[in-house]
Chain A
Amino acid sequence: NAGVTQTPKFQVLKTGQSMTLQCAQDMNHEYMSWYRQDPGMGLRLIHYSVGAGITDQGEVPNGYNVSRSTTEDFPLRLLSAAPSQTSVYFCASSRGRAPSGTNEKLFFGSGTQLSVL
């Protein structure tokens, strides 16, 4: 199994540009989520989805959009990139409607390093 696949691995943007970070999982997971990880701030939830057609905001949603048209895919769109969005972005998925322990553990992708100049 490929698990959670994120693309691209690295990206450099100029301020004001838009782009989409791709995330796909092949485990038929209901729950998918996007986190950003910054030094000294830990992992912060941007948006999440509990199934196709259902999305909700996390802790830091401003400047990002998501959609969930299929079970497998959960793209993250940056509408107008800002230097404050420079970060490492992780996509994660789990069985069930919320992540927890062994049977509903969160599987993370390998991350996207994004720099906004």
Chain B
Amino acid sequence: QKEVEQDPGPLSVPEGAIVSLNCTYSNSAFQYFMWYRQYSRKGPELLMYTYSSGNKEDGRFTAQVDKSSKYISLFIRDSQPSDSATYLCAMRGALYSGAGSYQLTFGKGTKLSVIP
């Protein structure tokens, strides 16, 4: 079992829809949770960041972390065609918490298309 599981999609939604993207993980040491957005033929860019459990909102985007369930989510409200991209979750543990604590572990990414 990979440490981070993410449904690769593809996911196609109409403009204005609410999008829900999710990742599950198995390593209970993970404390830092991120969502990256990657447009075609570009490098990923950080979209949202959450430390430990809880919610974080930034405009149309909301990130949620449920450490008890080892489950993280990204919600996109009022989705736009410009949101069409691949969304990757990423996470890591605290420094010195064990092997891999300096590394981000990425999900495989979910490809999202928002249809006008």
> Which residues of chain A in 61-117 are interfacial with respect to chain B, using CB atoms and an 8 Å cutoff?
90, 92, 97-102, 105-106, 108-111
> Which residues of chain A in 35-49 are interfacial with respect to chain B, using CB atoms and an 8 Å cutoff?
35, 40-45, 48
A interface residues (Cβ-Cβ under 8 A, vs B):
4, 31, 33, 35, 40-45, 48, 50, 56, 58-59, 90, 92, 97-102, 105-106, 108-111
The interface-forming segment of B68-76, B77-85, B102-110 is B102-110
B95 to chain A, nearest CB (A): 6
Give the number of A-B contacts (CB < 8 Å): 67
B105 to chain A, nearest CB (A): 8
Do residues B92 and A100 form an inter-chain contact, with CB atoms below 8 A? yes
Partner among B41, B92, B108 whose Cβ is within 8 Å of the Cβ of A42: B108
Interface residues on B, range: 20 to 34
Q: Which residues of A contact B104 (CB under 8 A)?
A: 45, 99, 106
> Which residues of chain B in 30-82 are interfacial with respect to chain A, using CB atoms and an 8 Å cutoff?
32, 34, 36, 41-46, 49-51
Listed residue (A31, A35, A45, A101) with the most chain B CB atoms within 10 angstroms of its CB: A101
Q: Which residues of B contact A108 (CB under 8 A)?
A: 43-45
Of the A-B pairs whose beta carbons lie under 8 Å apart in the complex, a sample of 9, sorted by A's number, is A35-B106, A40-B108, A42-B106, A59-B103, A98-B102, A100-B32, A106-B36, A106-B44, A109-B43
